[in-house]
Amino acid sequence: MVEQIARAVSGGARISAEDALRLYRDAPTHLLGRLADGIRARKHPEGIVSYIIDRNVNYTNVCTARCNFCAFYRTVGSPDGYVLGFEEIFAKIDETIAVGGNQMLLQGGHNPDLPIQWYEDLFRAIKQRYPDFKLHALSPPEVLHISRLNNVPVPAVIARLVAAGLDSIPGGGAEMLVDRVRKLLNCYGKASSDEWLGVMREAHRAGLRTTATMMYGTVETDEERIEHMLRLRDLQDETGGFTAFITWSYQPEHTERAGIEATGIDYLRTLALARIVLDNVDNLQASWVTQGGKVGQLSLAFGANDMGSVMIEENVVRAAGASYCMDEVEIVANIEDAGFTAKRRNMHYEVLGDPIFREREVPRMLSLATARADGDASVPEELRNYPARSRQGKQLRLAQ
């Protein structure tokens, strides 16, 4: 049976949920890898593995969603809660440009004290200072949060943010697009499966390209992992708006949910299966930030054609216990060591050129930066211009 399915996949046939489950459960790991690698080679025959130099910035850690798998968020009024100031974000952009970056991945908590005007003003200010710099920002649950907080429909939120400078939307917050799972992870409230997909549908209709993600390894069944992939595949058939798929394992340290992390083999098998199921998504990223550089590199044999981002900064996964770091030199070394050609890309997966460190001197980066230095509890001055919704936020504004 596995051999039959493997032959069909090798021949380019679309796989059913039932056959995907059979492959995932019964196919030897190398066979899964070979099938996925074959699809990667068909989609990317030139042997290029891409990566992007961008910075992963979390503008606030204050969040009302309270997902039980998250170690990053702080509740409203927490002394550890922060909102980055515009100047702080500009400084991060300057540092990103200095190492050859052209984009910021900007995501944050569902902060009730940041109205839509704050996002619009931030985006406009960034675009005014850095006209060519790209904003890959605000995952679907954040868009929903802004919509709900401001009583503005999702299409209008997207239109306003695009007008302010939003270039693309990251696929965060998908977790597992199965409502049974979302309820157990306490993330159904922030966005149901349909709502997450609905925001992406609207974004694609508005002409934005987005990514799609999957966090596995919590409470889902094998069937539910496949259901998640199929829901993405269906939307991709409809809109064609997903540029890439990224999957990673749940990182349990310091989270309310706790538990243990899925193994490296599980990651490679899940990645390979995603390459097989998501036959209409061109790019699959390796999640070295959760798997480490070694399994991250091995992902390139299991269907991945992209090493993701240099990141420069990372806060969310680090809070949950993983603190891997790879700068451009190391990412390129890993790509080339695996027999591929390394190319820089943008969010649309268009090749920008060869590694930047071969064009000019770039400082080595041996650890990822954080949102703020420990103990920095400063409150950005411009926050006083934006009305707060929470009681604690209002008190803070009065004290400013």
Interface residues toward another protein, by CB under 8 A: 28-30, 33-34, 37, 252-253, 258-260, 263-268, 291-298, 301, 333-334, 337-339
Measured from the CB of residue 219, what is the shortest distance to another protein in angstroms? 16
Output 77 or 259, the one with its CB closest to another protein.
259
Output 168 or 291, the one with its CB closest to another protein.
291
In contact, 125 and 86? CB cutoff 8 Å: yes
Measured from the CB of residue 335, what is the shortest distance to another protein in angstroms? 10
Cα–Cα nearest to 105, from 258, 255, 244, 267: 244
Structure token pair of residue 197: 């997909």
Q: Whats the size of the chain, residue-wise?
A: 400
Output 152 or 333, the one with its CB closest to another protein.
333
Output 217 or 241, the one with its CB closest to another protein.
217
In contact, 170 and 308? CB cutoff 8 Å: no
Measured from the CB of residue 218, what is the shortest distance to another protein in angstroms? 14
3-state secondary structure 333-370: HHHHHCCCEEEEECCCCCEEECCHHHCCCCCCCCCCEC
Measured from the CB of residue 307, what is the shortest distance to another protein in angstroms? 12
Measured from the CB of residue 274, what is the shortest distance to another protein in angstroms? 17
Output 260 or 377, the one with its CB closest to another protein.
260
Measured from the CB of residue 302, what is the shortest distance to another protein in angstroms? 8
Output 44 or 372, the one with its CB closest to another protein.
44
Measured from the CB of residue 13, what is the shortest distance to another protein in angstroms? 20
Output 211 or 334, the one with its CB closest to another protein.
334
Euclidean distance between CA atoms 338 and 332, whole angstroms = 10
Structure token pair of residue 42: 């068909």
Structure token pair of residue 187: 């993330």
Amino acid at 229: M
Q: How many CA atoms lie within 13 A of 293 on its CB side?
A: 16
Residue 211 three-state SS:
strand
Residue 2 three-state SS:
helix
Output 174 or 262, the one with its CB closest to another protein.
262
Measured from the CB of residue 190, what is the shortest distance to another protein in angstroms? 26
Amino acid at 279: D
DSSP character for 124? H
Cα–Cα nearest to 85, from 383, 396, 392, 312: 383
Structure token pair of residue 285: 């990223």
Residues linked to residue 244 through DSSP beta bridges, in sequence order: 211, 283
In contact, 24 and 281? CB cutoff 8 Å: no
